[in-house]
């Protein structure tokens, strides 16, 4: 049975630079948990702290109820898949996978069946006598995966395991990883900078920026209900527009006026006055040739992408907005220079405070 | 509080073994490298009563007998460097860019001439062009007097032929790692072939060329055997150091110390130029598509091959001469008609001790070099800290020091209790280890840099402690680099003359020392037989090196 992982106020400093800044989160037993963020955000540092390759400068990490801060890396009983696979080049595939079992003094009679089973799970049984130099990137990745799971680790860590593969293989491998993780029910912490990969593979995602957690949620919630403008901008495409609360009623219904020239009313969860930022996804716009309720603009550029068309629309205040329109709904393409009106459903868009740090709607 | 102090305690446990290695080797280097050098420097400022004086330096810079040697050293080294460049660069260009025949053979001959015992060149050229030389006599019969080989000209000839391989090997390495697209781009932009070579190819290889030239200069500056044998009245610094020390035997090595300091200053200056001026401009390139090798017409191809072979064979000639002369019949020191094994009989009867000494000391030194070289290169590459970079600097220091200087410094430092080592085998082995370890460290480090840190982490992560991981994974992966480096250390150890000649005593003389003394006694037959043993061992070791390194590690 794999462990749950609890990260409490964890800090990592390099001289003046704080790489991991007071991060706390809990990962449930058997969960597929992803650390997602731009490069240099501290996600790999955090993963390596869990693995024991980086020291923990503050806070505590628990496996179940046990603090692991002072347990040495080689005693933590973790499986890890490295970004560049880290296959031992002087050993065969079989010996690579058996390495961890030998270190655990597993009886010889047990090693072979376990290794073969692991190789079978990642579908490379036929490669067991090969040397790593004779394997392709995808095959090496499978060896790395087999080597990590064969020891039945308490926690499985993966550091950007798919980033060196080509696009097609990436999709294939992530399905294999996900299935394997579910079947074996291993608590998995996965690091990536690829948002699509994170959305596809995870039970929950922690978005990290500058060493801090921005939001922890399921993929759908992260996409639909971003907690701040960083998350809204990092996941998918968002159009940010500035505006101002004109008036707010006792019932919490606020009248918001956008700088680009459009007013709408929405009930806010929090009391707030002053300037706001709203974020609208390109597919949330409803595009009309004319009309009253919406943002007036002019098409600057269009890109036809098959199932939908992407438009760049210049608003009255000069801001350029991305808007998508499904091609199944229309039988013409809007040309450059056309005047349009962009409407949206206020209930669906996100409204943030002026700094973009807090969601209001 | 708990969380703050605990990881630190953990960390010490984690790196315990490496701390031991780190501080242990630092201590050894301080005792056997730094301390001797300070002793020499201090001695250079002492008078015979032990008081402070600048007299030695004053004598050096005012008396022509002394300061002329500095000029001589710089002149021979400088001129040899120029000739080496003029010889090495065109040769490298031809072999890398044209489809000449027997490239591998040409390369091997050139590498072998570089790795040959240092004084064999001088010795062989004396055999050929000396007073009683083969060619001299041949020409004399025809009534032609050849110019004398002794002195300035001879030194430059031997240095050029012995050290031009540095330029050749460095430059041909760089030439074949220029990506084809670079020259194609120049061509595409409309520049002619000659212009391309001058404006693109040459500037790109310039830093490498400079590095090769500096190696030639430093090696020439440090060489002792060649000028000693062929220089006769023409004295260079290392020779003067030796003579001064020998004449001061029993007294203080004050003048010899001052001379050593002068040499070290010269070579350090050159090395600093290399490090801060030349190395900065280095262009890192990994050729994805190596440059095109031009296909020549048959006539031109044969002509260029003959040209390259001529140079390679002339460079290799000394070793052929040595082996051939070792089989010529002798009558006492004089060669007579016909072939025979007298020279070998004589050395096995008279000088077998030197042969066993050479191989025994070298084997012990190599074992120490392998163990320390492996651990130290790991420390320097993978466990970066202030101390490990200090170690790195100290370990490369012996590159700069001529063997004669190292020899003197060790004698000065270890001729009294508690470390009374002069005259022992131990002092020679220590000198070999210090002087030859850089080869092993450099080649192991080169390999270590290519080992991804996550390979070790993967092993630790799978439950193997860091120390066990080093032996199970890292050491295994380093092995080819360590082994190739060790072979180079081995080759240069058995051929070592300049420090041996300072440190040997009757009981610890090695082959190279014996060759030197036999040549001085004009016993050329035995000298040739001894040199042949070294040459053949060297060639066999080089073949082993090629087999082990699979062409991945360069000899330079």
Q: Is residue A245 part of a domain?
A: yes
Q: What is the per-residue pLDDT across B309-344, written as a single tens digit (0 to 9) for each? A: 999 999 999 989 888 888 888 766 667 777 878 888
Q: Establish if A326 touches chain B: CB-CB under 8 angstroms.
A: no
Nearest CB to B3; choose among A51, A69, A89: A69
Instruction: Indicate if ipTM > 0.90.
Output: no
Q: Establish if A269 touches chain B: CB-CB under 8 angstroms.
A: no
**With contacts defined as CB-CB under 8 Å, which chain A residues touch B454?**
82-84, 86
Mutation site, A101, A103, A144, interface B, largest B CB count within 10 A: A103
Was domain B63-326 assigned CATH 2.40.50.100?
Answer: no
Whether B3 shows a pLDDT value over 50: the answer reads no
Query: Could you tell me if A217 and A204 are in contact, meaning their C-beta atoms sit under 8 angstroms apart?
Result: yes
Q: Is residue A106 part of a domain?
A: yes
- Give B354-359 contacts, CB < 8 A, sequence gap 24+: B354/B509, B354/B510, B354/B511, B354/B513, B354/B514, B354/B530, B355/B511, B355/B530, B355/B533, B357/B425, B357/B508, B357/B509, B357/B510, B357/B511, B358/B494, B358/B510, B358/B511, B358/B512, B358/B534, B359/B494
For B480, nearest residue in chain A (alpha carbons):
A90
Q: What is the per-residue pLDDT across B248-281, written as a single tens digit (0 to 9) for each? A: 655 557 888 888 889 888 888 887 887 776 666 6
Nearest CB to B455; choose among A74, A86, A103: A86
**With contacts defined as CB-CB under 8 Å, which chain B residues touch A72?**
10, 13-14, 465
Nearest CB to A88; choose among B455, B463, B466: B455
Q: What is the per-residue pLDDT across A231-261, written as a single tens digit (0 to 9) for each? A: 999 999 999 999 999 888 888 889 999 998 8
Residue B463 region, left (φ>0) first, then alpha (ψ -120 to 50), else beta?
left
Whether B188 shows a pLDDT value over 80: the answer reads no
* The pLDDT value given to residue B287: 55
Query: Could you tell me if A7 and A59 are in contact, meaning their C-beta atoms sit under 8 angstroms apart?
Result: yes
The domain boundary residue, chosen from A233, A266, A286: A233
The domain boundary residue, chosen from A199, A233, A267: A233
Q: Establish if A132 touches chain B: CB-CB under 8 angstroms.
A: no
Do residues A20 and A150 share a domain?
Answer: yes
CATH number at residue A265: 2.40.50.140
DSSP tally for chain B: helices H, then strands E? 27, 4
Q: Establish if B462 touches chain A: CB-CB under 8 angstroms.
A: yes
The domain boundary residue, chosen from A203, A233, A263: A233
Q: Establish if B467 touches chain A: CB-CB under 8 angstroms.
A: no
The first and second tokens of residue B277, run together, are 């001026």
Q: Tokens 């490069």 label which residue?
A: A39
Q: What is the per-residue pLDDT across A313-344, written as a single tens digit (0 to 9) for each? A: 999 889 999 999 888 877 777 888 888 999 99
Q: How far from each other are the two terminal CA atoms of chain B, in whole angstroms?
A: 53
Total domain count for chain A? 2
Q: What is the mean pLDDT of residues B146-159?
A: 88
- CB-facing half-sphere around the CA of B131: CA atoms within 13 A: 5
Inspect the interface and report whether the beta carbons of B464 and A55 lie closer than 8 Å: no
How far apart are the CA of B14 and the nearest CA of chain A, in angstroms?
8
Inspect the interface and report whether the beta carbons of A88 and B459 lie closer than 8 Å: yes
Q: What is the mean pLDDT of residues B452-479?
A: 89
**With contacts defined as CB-CB under 8 Å, which chain A residues touch B464?**
74, 99, 103
A154 lies in which domain range? 5-233
Interface of B with A in 476-535 (CB under 8 A): 476-477
Nearest CB to B463; choose among A55, A70, A103: A103
Do residues A229 and A89 share a domain?
Answer: yes
Mutation site, A78, A88, A140, A191, interface B, largest B CB count within 10 A: A88
* The pLDDT value given to residue B15: 54
* The pLDDT value given to residue B285: 57
Nearest CB to B6; choose among A69, A87, A99: A69
Least confident residue range of A230-239, A297-306, B283-292: B283-292
**With contacts defined as CB-CB under 8 Å, which chain B residues touch A144?**
458
Do residues A294 and A201 share a domain?
Answer: no
Class of CATH domain B18-39+332-556: mainly alpha
**With contacts defined as CB-CB under 8 Å, which chain B residues touch A151?**
462-463
Nearest CB to B3; choose among A60, A77, A89: A60
Q: Is residue A295 part of a domain?
A: yes
Q: What is the per-residue pLDDT across B41-56, written as a single tens digit (0 to 9) for each? A: 888 888 777 778 888 8
- Degrees to nearest 5, angle at CA B416 with B414 and B419: 55
H helix or E strand, kind and range, residue A279 = strand A275-280
Name the percent of chain A lying above pLDDT 90: 66
Whether A197 shows a pLDDT value over 90: the answer reads yes
Do residues A153 and A271 share a domain?
Answer: no
Q: Is residue A358 part of a domain?
A: no
How far apart are the CA of A96 and the nearest CA of chain B, in angstroms?
10
Query: Could you tell me if A212 and A21 are in contact, meaning their C-beta atoms sit under 8 angstroms apart?
Result: yes
Whether B5 shows a pLDDT value over 50: the answer reads no
Nearest CB to A56; choose among B7, B13, B462: B7
> pLDDT band at B6, cuts 50/70/90?
very low
Mean pLDDT of chain B: 84
**With contacts defined as CB-CB under 8 Å, which chain A residues touch B457?**
51, 53, 73, 80, 82, 86
What is the distance between the alpha carbons of residues B412 and B205, in angstroms, rounded to a whole number? Answer: 43
What is the distance between the alpha carbons of residues B171 and B175, in angstroms, rounded to a whole number? Answer: 6
How many A×B Cβ pairs under 8 Å? 82
Whether B9 shows a pLDDT value over 60: the answer reads no
Q: Establish if B3 touches chain A: CB-CB under 8 angstroms.
A: yes
Q: Is residue A321 part of a domain?
A: yes
**With contacts defined as CB-CB under 8 Å, which chain B residues touch A77?**
463
For B475, nearest residue in chain A (alpha carbons):
A90
Do residues A76 and A196 share a domain?
Answer: yes
**With contacts defined as CB-CB under 8 Å, which chain A residues touch B16?**
none
* The pLDDT value given to residue B249: 58
Q: Establish if A80 touches chain B: CB-CB under 8 angstroms.
A: yes
Mean pLDDT of chain A: 91
CATH number at residue A143: 3.40.50.300
Inspect the interface and report whether the beta carbons of A74 and B452 lie closer than 8 Å: no
What is the distance between the alpha carbons of residues A113 and B194, in angstroms, rounded to a whole number? Answer: 66
The first and second tokens of residue A321, run together, are 């907005």
What is the distance between the alpha carbons of residues B200 and B396, in angstroms, rounded to a whole number? Answer: 33
The first and second tokens of residue B242, run together, are 């030796």
Q: Report residue B404: phi and psi, to 5°.
A: -60, -40
pLDDT higher at B157 or B554: B157
Query: Could you tell me if B163 and B80 are in contact, meaning their C-beta atoms sit under 8 angstroms apart?
Result: yes
Query: Could you tell me if A352 and A227 are in contact, meaning their C-beta atoms sit under 8 angstroms apart?
Result: no
**With contacts defined as CB-CB under 8 Å, which chain A residues touch B475?**
none
Chain-centroid distance, C-alpha B403: 10
Q: What is the mean pLDDT of residues B532-554?
A: 81
Q: Establish if B461 touches chain A: CB-CB under 8 angstroms.
A: yes
Residues 6+ apart with CB under 8 A from B311: B87, B91
> pLDDT band at B21, cuts 50/70/90?
confident
B18-39+332-556 shares its CATH topology with B63-326: yes
Whether B25 shows a pLDDT value over 60: the answer reads yes
If 0-12 CB within 10 Å is exposed, 13-18 middle and 19+ buried, where does residue B292 land? Answer: exposed
Do residues A116 and A42 share a domain?
Answer: yes
Do residues A256 and A193 share a domain?
Answer: no
Cα A281 to Cα A172, A266, A297, A308, A354, distances in angstroms: 28, 18, 17, 14, 19
Residue A64 region, left (φ>0) first, then alpha (ψ -120 to 50), else beta?
left
Q: Is residue A359 part of a domain?
A: no
Q: Establish if B5 touches chain A: CB-CB under 8 angstroms.
A: no
* The pLDDT value given to residue A140: 92
Do residues A133 and A201 share a domain?
Answer: yes
Inspect the interface and report whether the beta carbons of A78 and B455 lie closer than 8 Å: no
Query: Could you tell me if B72 and B239 are in contact, meaning their C-beta atoms sit under 8 angstroms apart?
Result: no
Do residues A252 and A295 share a domain?
Answer: yes
How far apart are the CA of A86 and the nearest CA of chain B, in angstroms?
5
Q: What is the per-residue pLDDT across B345-393, written as a single tens digit (0 to 9) for each? A: 888 888 888 999 999 999 999 999 999 999 998 988 888 788 888 888 8
* The pLDDT value given to residue A234: 93
Please state the domain extents for chain B: 18-39+332-556, 63-326
Q: Establish if A75 touches chain B: CB-CB under 8 angstroms.
A: yes
Whether B178 shows a pLDDT value over 90: the answer reads no
Inspect the interface and report whether the beta carbons of B457 and A70 lie closer than 8 Å: no
Q: What is the mean pLDDT of residues B213-227?
A: 89
Q: Tokens 């790395």 label which residue?
A: A144
* The pLDDT value given to residue A146: 94
Q: Tokens 């004050």 label which residue?
A: B254
Q: Establish if B42 touches chain A: CB-CB under 8 angstroms.
A: no
Q: Is residue A184 part of a domain?
A: yes
Query: Computed from CA positions of residues A157, A163, A167, A168, in that sequence, does the dihedral angle turn out positive or negative?
Result: negative
Do residues A123 and A185 share a domain?
Answer: yes
Q: Establish if B284 touches chain A: CB-CB under 8 angstroms.
A: no
Nearest CB to A80; choose among B6, B7, B458: B458
Q: What is the DSSP string of B20-40?
A: HHHHHHHHHHIIIIIHHHHHH
Q: Establish if B550 touches chain A: CB-CB under 8 angstroms.
A: no
DSSP tally for chain A: helices H, then strands E? 8, 20
How far apart are the CA of B479 and the nearest CA of chain A, in angstroms?
11
How far apart are the CA of A192 and the nearest CA of chain B, in angstroms?
17
Q: What is the mean pLDDT of residues B490-516?
A: 89
Query: Could you tell me if B215 and B556 are in contact, meaning their C-beta atoms sit under 8 angstroms apart?
Result: yes
What is the distance between the alpha carbons of residues A79 and A96, in angstroms, rounded to a whole number? Answer: 13
Neighbouring C-beta atoms of residue A116, cutoff 10 Å: 16
How far apart are the CA of B362 and the nearest CA of chain A, in angstroms?
30
Q: Is residue A46 part of a domain?
A: yes
Q: What is the per-residue pLDDT across A27-60, written as a single tens digit (0 to 9) for each? A: 999 999 999 999 889 999 999 999 999 999 999 9
Q: What is the mean pLDDT of residues A194-215?
A: 94
**With contacts defined as CB-CB under 8 Å, which chain A residues touch B477?**
89-90
Inspect the interface and report whether the beta carbons of A99 and B459 lie closer than 8 Å: yes
**With contacts defined as CB-CB under 8 Å, which chain B residues touch A89?**
455, 477
Whether B10 shows a pLDDT value over 60: the answer reads no
Do residues A214 and A243 share a domain?
Answer: no
Do residues A255 and A200 share a domain?
Answer: no
* The pLDDT value given to residue B280: 61
> pLDDT band at B156, cuts 50/70/90?
very high
Q: Establish if B307 touches chain A: CB-CB under 8 angstroms.
A: no
């Amino acid at each position: 049975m794999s462990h749950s992982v609890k990260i409490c106020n964890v800090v990592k400093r390099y001289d003046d630079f704080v790489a991991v800044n007071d991060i706390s989160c809990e990962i449930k037993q058997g969960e597929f948990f992803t650390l997602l963020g731009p490069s240099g955000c501290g996600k790999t540092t955090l993963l390596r702290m869990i693995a024991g390759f980086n020291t923990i400068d503050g806070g505590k990490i628990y496996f179940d109820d046990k603090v692991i801060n002072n347990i040495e890396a080689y005693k933590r009983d973790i499986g890890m898949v490295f970004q560049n696979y880290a296959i031992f080049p002087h050993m065969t595939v079989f010996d690579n996978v058996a390495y961890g079992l030998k270190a655990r003094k597993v009886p010889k009679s047990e090693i072979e069946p376990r290794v073969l089973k692991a190789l079978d799970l990642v579908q490379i049984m036929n490669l067991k006598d090969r040397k790593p130099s004779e394997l392709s990137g995808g095959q090496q990745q499978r060896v790395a995966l087999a080597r990590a799971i064969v020891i039945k680790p308490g926690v499985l860590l993966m550091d950007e395991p798919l980033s060196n593969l080509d696009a097609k293989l990436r999709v294939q491998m992530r399905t294999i990883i996900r299935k394997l993780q579910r079947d074996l029910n291993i608590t998995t912490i996965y690091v990536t900078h690829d948002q699509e990969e994170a959305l596809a593979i995870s039970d929950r995602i922690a978005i990290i920026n500058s060493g801090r957690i921005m939001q922890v949620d399921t993929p759908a919630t992260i996409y639909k209900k971003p907690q701040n403008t960083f998350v809204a901008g990092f996941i998918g495409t968002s159009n940010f527009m500035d505006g101002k609360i004109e008036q707010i009623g006792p019932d919490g219904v606020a009248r918001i006026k956008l700088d680009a020239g459009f007013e709408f009313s929405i009930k806010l969860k929090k009391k707030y006055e002053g300037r706001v930022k709203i974020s609208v996804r390109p597919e949330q716009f409803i595009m009309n040739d004319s009309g009253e309720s919406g943002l007036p603009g002019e098409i600057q550029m269009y890109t036809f992408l098959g199932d939908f068309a992407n438009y760049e629309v210049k608003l009255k205040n000069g801001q350029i907005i991305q808007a998508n329109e499904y091609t199944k709904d229309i039988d013409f393409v809007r040309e450059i220079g056309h005047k349009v009106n962009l409407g949206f459903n206020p209930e669906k868009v996100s409204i943030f405070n002026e700094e973009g740090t807090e969601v209001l709607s | 509080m708990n969380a703050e102090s605990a990881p630190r305690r953990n960390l010490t446990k984690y790196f315990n073994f490496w701390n031991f290695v780190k501080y242990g080797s630092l201590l050894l280097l301080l005792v056997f490298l730094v301390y001797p050098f300070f002793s020499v420097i201090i001695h250079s400022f002492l008078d015979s009563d032990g008081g402070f004086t600048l007299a030695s330096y004053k004598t050096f810079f005012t008396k022509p007998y002394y300061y002329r040697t500095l000029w001589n050293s710089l002149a021979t080294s400088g001129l040899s460097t120029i000739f080496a460049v003029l010889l090495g660069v065109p040769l490298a260009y031809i072999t890398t860019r044209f489809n000449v025949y027997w490239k591998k053979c040409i390369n091997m001959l050139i590498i072998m001439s570089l790795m040959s015992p240092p004084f064999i060149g001088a010795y062989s050229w004396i055999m050929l062009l000396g007073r009683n030389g083969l060619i001299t006599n041949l020409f004399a019969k025809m009534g032609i007097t050849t110019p004398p080989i002794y002195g300035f000209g001879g030194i430059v000839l031997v240095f050029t032929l012995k050290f031009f391989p540095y330029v050749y090997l460095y430059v041909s390495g760089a030439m074949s790692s220029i990506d084809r697209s670079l020259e194609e781009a120049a061509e595409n932009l409309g520049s002619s072939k000659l212009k391309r070579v001058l404006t693109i190819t040459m500037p790109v290889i310039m830093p490498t060329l400079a590095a090769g030239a500096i190696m030639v200069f430093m090696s020439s500056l440090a060489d002792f055997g060649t000028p000693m044998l062929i220089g006769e009245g023409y004295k260079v610094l290392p020779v003067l150091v030796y003579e001064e020390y020998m004449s001061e035997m029993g007294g203080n090595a004050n003048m010899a110390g001052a001379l050593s300091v002068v040499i070290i200053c010269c070579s350090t200056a050159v090395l600093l130029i290399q490090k801060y001026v030349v190395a900065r401009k280095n262009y890192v390139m990994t050729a994805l598509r190596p440059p095109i090798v031009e296909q020549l017409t048959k006539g031109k191809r044969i002509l260029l091959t003959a040209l390259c072979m001529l140079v390679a064979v002339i460079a290799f000639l000394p070793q052929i001469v040595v082996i051939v002369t070792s089989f010529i019949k002798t009558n006492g020191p004089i060669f007579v008609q016909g072939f025979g094994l007298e020279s070998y009989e004589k050395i096995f009867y008279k000088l077998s001790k030197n042969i066993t000494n050479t191989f025994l000391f070298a084997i012990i030194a190599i074992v120490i070099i392998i163990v320390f070289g492996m651990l130290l290169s790991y420390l320097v590459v993978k466990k970066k800290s202030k101390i490990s970079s200090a170690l790195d600097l100290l370990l490369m220091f012996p590159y700069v020091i001529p063997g004669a200087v190292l020899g003197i410094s060790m004698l000065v430092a270890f001729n009294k209790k508690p470390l009374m080592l002069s005259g022992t085998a131990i002092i020679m082995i220590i000198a070999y280890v210090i002087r030859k370890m850089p080869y092993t460290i450099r080649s192991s480090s080169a390999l270590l840099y290519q080992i991804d840190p996550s390979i070790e982490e993967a092993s630790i992560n799978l439950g193997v402690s860091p120390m066990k991981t080093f032996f199970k994974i890292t050491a295994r992966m380093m092995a080819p680099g360590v082994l190739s480096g060790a072979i180079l250390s081995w080759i240069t150890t058995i051929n070592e003359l300049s420090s041996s000649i300072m440190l040997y005593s009757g009981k610890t003389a090695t082959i190279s020392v014996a060759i030197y003394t036999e040549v001085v006694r004009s016993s050329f037959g035995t000298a040739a037989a001894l040199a042949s043993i070294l040459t053949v061992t060297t060639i066999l070791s080089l073949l082993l090196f090629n087999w082990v390194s699979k062409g991945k590690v360069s000899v330079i």
